[in-house]
């Protein structure tokens, strides 16, 4: 009997909110909601407030209006940090994605040992963010490092790549390209989704390899490319560890690896100018949000959804 | 797809051949010589892929080899096989800082363990609510959750630092673990929502008819059926937390509380050219746990990335 009543009750309430769901939701969402308020939303609002103050952790924050922002726009190192970060992002992310796509295409040919290659190429993605790899990079691209030893073998004399202002950022870009494995795996999954039928039909119509890539693979893969692009851009904008370790925390030589996050750290936790750091943080948020929005808007013109 | 009409038509119609079958009926498209050429090309492709993999992994292998070399050889020997061995690097490196390296490994292990447990519990709870409960404003909260994934930590780190320092939590592991207990790694909430949605609703409806409440459905049905998603979450939390540098650098400033990445950083900053051997040795030690997780958790790693795009 009880079961039948239960059925009748749930039937009646079934389509929309069921009794008890609201209370259960409060229970299940409580930790997440507490985190959202305390660890995310409150600090977000607080940093906006702090960006209008001269807070230095020692005295209570004093309101100084837009001064942090005007100072920021007069600060050559701020612009240097922007330049370094944008150069890094705009050069290394496309290269990384191109490498990822190229390798995914090669691996997608149904060749033996796919799992093995996939693992080998993916490993750097897992390790790339660690301090240990940054230390390795500092040695490999140092004056007496591995790269120069190898070059010396061919009679080429290299420079100290990480200590040369023209090349230091390049070594970090190489590091980012080196971690192409994660987007490669996403591309591989995407390539699997393209029906073999399309390629067969195109072949019969006489389409060559390049033509099939241009007219089938690329358009059908644009949603995946877009997805990878958004993820990697956001990630690259926030990179910190590698530049910090390779430059010994300075962003040097001559500020050539002064990532935005590095400068923010230096201001906020090196010299405790927390108001200024908060202003920089909000500027970063606007840049990342703006970039993502532009990305989504632009996607209307090049991303193709096959449905 | 091509034989769909056959189902409505009772007469046995031959299924339409696929294009590749049509192509196969054409007289031998590839003369023997071309077939041999194809085999050669296949081999060449493998050779190229292996060579490329070797180049990619060479720095890693070299670091491993170099951790067994006397330091002066590290700056002279690009080869993998040490001409002279020095196992002292590991003992020197282990004791190079204030505490033995095991101390930092233990600290990292505590932070990682707390983070993994925190993420598993809190993210799966939130995911259950988003995937299975109907409540007011669910779509709005879900959208907010998705947006919080994209929020750079740098934007909120300053007030977080102020907040945690007013609680006297600086130089404890609490600022690193408590947020995970509160599901701030929203990425995993999303991952689990996706997974939960794939579990047939009939199962929880049946349980409900048998008198199960949400807590029991969550504990007895959803969690046991979501082991792959939980494993992916655990593995990625492990690797991210183990590698995390930024927040640990900010919240842990007392040498006693250092985790592995911060200890390595102190090590590299204090290193002159003379102690690269021990530094490499400890770098290798720091990579071993991630490597082991990679080795044993590959299945979940690949699936996790392919479905959600995390690193």
Which residue from A28, A136, A203 is facing B283, i.e. has the nearest CB?
Answer: A136
Mean per-residue pLDDT, B269-278: 79
Compute the nearest-CA separation of A129 from chain B (Å): 6
Rg of chain B over all Cα atoms, to the nearest angstrom: 27
What b-and-e string marks burial along B3-30, b requiring 16 or more CB atoms within 10 Å of the CB?
Answer: eeeeeeeeeeeeeeeebeeeeeeeeeee
What band does B10 get if pLDDT is binned at 50, 70 and 90? very low
Decide: A262 and A246 in contact? Cβ < 8 Å: no
Decide: A171 and A256 in contact? Cβ < 8 Å: no
| Residue that the structure tokens 């590991």 belong to | B90
- Separation CA A285–CA A281 (nearest Å): 6
Name which residue leads in pLDDT, B70 or A109: B70
Which residue from A3, A197, A281 is facing B154, i.e. has the nearest CB?
Answer: A281
Q: CB distance from B258 to chain A under 8 Å?
A: no
> How many structural domains compose chain B?
1
Instruction: Output the pLDDT for position B82.
Output: 85
Q: Which of A27-31, B99-103, B109-113, B203-207 has the lowest mean pLDDT?
A: B203-207
Instruction: Output the pLDDT for position A10.
Output: 42
Q: CB distance from B270 to chain A under 8 Å?
A: no
**B129 closest CA partner among A31, A307, A274:** A31
Instruction: Output the pLDDT for position B174.
Output: 97
Within 8 A of B189 by CB-CB distance, chain A residues are: 32
Instruction: Output the pLDDT for position A155.
Output: 87
Q: Do A20 and B134 touch (CB under 8 A)?
A: no
Q: Which of A132-136, A208-212, B104-108, B181-185 has the lowest mean pLDDT?
A: A208-212
Instruction: Output the pLDDT for position A305.
Output: 78
Within 8 A of B78 by CB-CB distance, chain A residues are: 146, 149-150, 153
Instruction: Output the pLDDT for position A109.
Output: 79
Compute the nearest-CA separation of A166 from chain B (Å): 22
Q: Do B209 and A7 touch (CB under 8 A)?
A: yes
**What secondary structure, in 3-state letters, does chain A show?**
CHHHHHHHHHHHHCCCCCCCHHHHHHHHHHHHHHHHHHHHHHHHHHHHHHCCECCCCCCCCCECCCHHHHHHCCCHHHHHHHHHHHHHHHHHHHHHHHHHHHHHHHHCCCCCCHHHHHHHHHHHHHHCCCHHHHHHHHHHCCCCCHHHHHHHHCCCCCCCHHHCCCCHHHHHHHHHHHCCHHHHHHHHHHHHHCCHHHHHHHHHCCCCHHHHHHHHHHHHHHHHHHHHHHHHHHHHHCCCHHHHHHCCCCCCCCCCCCCHHHHHHHHHHHCCCHHHHHHHHHHHHHHHHHHHHHHHHHHHHHCCCCC
Alpha-carbon torsion (B149, B153, B154, B160), positive or negative: positive
* Long-range interactions of B25-30: CB distance < 8 A, separation 24+: none
**Three-class secondary structure of residue B189 per DSSP:** helix
**Per-residue pLDDT at B86 exceeds 80:** yes
Residue B56 lies in a domain: no
Q: Which of A:65-84 have CB within 8 Å of B?
A: none
Q: CB distance from B122 to chain A under 8 Å?
A: yes
Instruction: Output the pLDDT for position A131.
Output: 96
Residue B208 lies in a domain: yes
Residue B67 lies in a domain: no
Instruction: Output the pLDDT for position B80.
Output: 87
What are the distances in angstroms from CA A94 to CA A83, A104, A180, A231, A242? 17, 15, 10, 12, 19
- What pTM, to 2 d.p., does this model score? 0.87
Which residue from A20, A44, A240 is facing B246, i.e. has the nearest CB?
Answer: A240
Residue B224 lies in a domain: yes
Instruction: Output the pLDDT for position B107.
Output: 97
Q: CB distance from B254 to chain A under 8 Å?
A: no
Residue B258 lies in a domain: yes
Number of Cα atoms under 13 Å in the Cβ half of residue B77 = 20
**A241 closest CA partner among A267, A262, A225:** A262
| Residue that the structure tokens 């008819």 belong to | B209
Instruction: Output the pLDDT for position B4.
Output: 40
Residue B154 structure tokens: 């740098």
- Separation CA B155–CA B143 (nearest Å): 19
Alpha-carbon torsion (A169, A128, A107, A112), positive or negative: positive
Contacts of A79 (CB under 8 A, 6+ apart): none
**A102 closest CA partner among B39, B52, B301, B304:** B52
Residue B302 belongs to domain spanning: 108-308
Taking CA atoms, what residue in A is nearest to B260? A131
Residue-wise DSSP of B1-13: -TTHHHHH--S-P
**Per-residue pLDDT at B184 exceeds 80:** yes
Phi, psi of B286 (to 5 degrees): -70, -25
- Separation CA B249–CA A134 (nearest Å): 15
Which residue from A7, A35, A118 is facing B183, i.e. has the nearest CB?
Answer: A35
Decide: A51 and A279 in contact? Cβ < 8 Å: yes
- Please report which residue ranges of chain B form alpha helices under DSSP H: 4-8, 19-25, 32-66, 71-74, 88-94, 101-132, 138-150, 153-166, 174-181, 186-197, 201-209, 214-217, 223-225, 227-243, 246-251, 260-270, 276-308
Alpha-carbon torsion (B70, B74, B77, B79), positive or negative: positive
- Separation CA A132–CA A129 (nearest Å): 9
* Mean pLDDT estimate for chain B: 87
What band does B17 get if pLDDT is binned at 50, 70 and 90? low
Question: Residue B25, preceding bond cis, omega within 30 degrees?
Answer: no
**Per-residue pLDDT at B155 exceeds 70:** yes
- Separation CA A18–CA A6 (nearest Å): 12
Instruction: Output the pLDDT for position A120.
Output: 92
pLDDT digit string, tens, across residues B217-272: 999 999 999 998 999 999 999 999 999 999 999 999 999 999 999 999 999 888 76
Q: Can you list the domains of chain A with their CATH numbers?
A: 74-302 (1.10.3720.10)
Within 8 A of B56 by CB-CB distance, chain A residues are: 120-121, 124, 178
In this structure, what DSSP letter does residue B172 have?
S
Which residue from B23, B264, B269 is facing A204, i.e. has the nearest CB?
Answer: B23
Contacts of B68 (CB under 8 A, 6+ apart): B82, B85, B86, B87, B89
Phi, psi of B18 (to 5 degrees): -75, 165
Taking CA atoms, what residue in B is nearest to A29? B126
Give the A:B interface size as CB pairs under 8 Å: 287
List residues bridging with A53 in a β-sheet.
A63
Alpha-carbon torsion (A217, A219, A223, A225), positive or negative: positive
What b-and-e string marks burial along A30-44, b requiring 16 or more CB atoms within 10 Å of the CB?
Answer: bbbbbbbebbbbebb
**Three-class secondary structure of residue B84 per DSSP:** coil
**Three-class secondary structure of residue B200 per DSSP:** coil
Q: How many residues does chain B have?
A: 311
**Per-residue pLDDT at B137 exceeds 80:** yes
Instruction: Output the pLDDT for position B36.
Output: 86
Residue B87 structure tokens: 């196992």
Rg of chain A over all Cα atoms, to the nearest angstrom: 26
Residue B89 lies in a domain: no
ipTM (interface predicted TM): 0.87
CATH code assigned at B259: 1.10.3720.10
**Per-residue pLDDT at B138 exceeds 70:** yes
For chain A, list residues with pLDDT below 50. Answer: 1-16
**Can you say whether residue B172 is alpha, beta or left, with left for phi > 0 and alpha for psi between -120 and 50 degrees?**
beta
**Can you say whether residue B171 is alpha, beta or left, with left for phi > 0 and alpha for psi between -120 and 50 degrees?**
left
Contacts of A12 (CB under 8 A, 6+ apart): none
- Separation CA B218–CA B230 (nearest Å): 13
């Amino acid at each position: 009997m009880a079961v039948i009543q239960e059925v009748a009750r749930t039937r009646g309430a079934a389509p929309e909110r069921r009794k008890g769901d609201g209370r259960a939701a409060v229970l299940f969402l409580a930790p997440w909601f507490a985190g959202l308020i305390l660890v995310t939303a409150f600090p977000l609002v607080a940093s906006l407030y702090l960006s209008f103050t001269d807070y230095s952790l020692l005295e209570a924050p004093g309101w100084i209006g837009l001064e942090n922002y005007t100072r920021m726009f007069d600060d050559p190192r701020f612009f240097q940090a922007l330049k370094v970060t944008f150069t890094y992002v705009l050069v290394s992310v496309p290269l990384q994605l191109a490498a990822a796509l190229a390798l995914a295409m090669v691996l997608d040919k149904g060749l033996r040992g796919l799992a093995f290659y996939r693992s080998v190429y993916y490993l750097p993605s897992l390790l790339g963010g660690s301090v240990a790899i940054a230390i390795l990079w500092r040695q490999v691209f140092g004056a007496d490092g591995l790269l120069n030893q190898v070059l010396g073998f061919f009679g080429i004399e290299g420079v100290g790549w990480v200590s040369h202002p023209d090349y230091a950022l390049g070594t970090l870009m190489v590091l980012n390209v080196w971690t192409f494995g994660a987007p490669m795996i996403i591309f591989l999954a995407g390539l699997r989704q393209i029906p073999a039928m399309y390629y067969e039909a195109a072949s019969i119509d006489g389409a060559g390899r390049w033509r099939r890539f241009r007219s089938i693979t690329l358009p059908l893969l644009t949603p995946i490319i877009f997805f990878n692009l958004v993820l990697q851009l956001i990630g690259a904008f926030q990179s910190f560890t590698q530049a910090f370790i390779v430059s010994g925390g300075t962003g040097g030589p001559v500020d050539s690896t002064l990532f935005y996050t590095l400068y923010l750290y230096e201001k906020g936790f090196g010299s405790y100018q927390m108001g200024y750091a908060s202003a920089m943080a909000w500027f970063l948020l606007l840049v990342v949000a703006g970039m993502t929005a532009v990305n989504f808007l632009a996607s209307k013109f090049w991303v193709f959804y096959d449905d | 797809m091509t034989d769909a009409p056959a189902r409505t038509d009772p007469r046995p119609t031959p299924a339409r051949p696929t294009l590749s079958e049509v192509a196969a009926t054409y007289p031998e498209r590839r003369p023997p010589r071309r077939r041999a050429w194809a085999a050669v090309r296949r081999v060449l492709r493998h050779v190229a892929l292996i060579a490329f993999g070797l180049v990619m992994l060479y720095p890693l292998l070299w670091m491993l080899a170099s951790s067994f070399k006397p330091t002066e050889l590290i700056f002279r020997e690009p080869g993998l096989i040490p001409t002279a061995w020095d196992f002292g690097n590991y003992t020197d490196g282990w004791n190079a800082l204030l505490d033995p390296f095991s101390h930092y490994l233990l600290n990292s292990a505590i932070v990682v363990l707390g983070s993994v447990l925190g993420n598993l519990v809190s993210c799966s709870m939130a995911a259950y609510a988003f995937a299975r409960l109907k409540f007011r404003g669910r779509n709005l909260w879900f959208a907010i959750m998705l947006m919080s994934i994209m929020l750079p930590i740098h934007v909120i780190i300053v007030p977080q630092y102020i907040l945690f320092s007013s609680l006297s939590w600086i130089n404890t592991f609490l600022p690193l673990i408590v947020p995970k207990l509160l599901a701030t790694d929203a990425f995993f909430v999303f991952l689990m929502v996706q997974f939960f949605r794939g579990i047939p609703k009939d199962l929880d409806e049946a349980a409900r008819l048998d008198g199960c409440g949400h807590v029991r459905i969550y504990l007895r049905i959803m969690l046991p059926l979501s082991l792959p998603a939980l494993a992916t979450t655990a593995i990625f939390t492990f690797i991210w937390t183990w590698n995390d540098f930024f927040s640990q650098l900010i919240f842990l400033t007392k040498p006693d509380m250092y985790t592995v990445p911060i200890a390595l950083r102190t090590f590299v900053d204090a290193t002159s050219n003379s102690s690269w051997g021990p530094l490499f040795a400890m770098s290798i030690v720091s990579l071993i746990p991630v490597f082991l997780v990679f080795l044993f958790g590959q299945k979940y790693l690949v699936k996790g990335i392919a479905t959600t795009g995390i690193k």
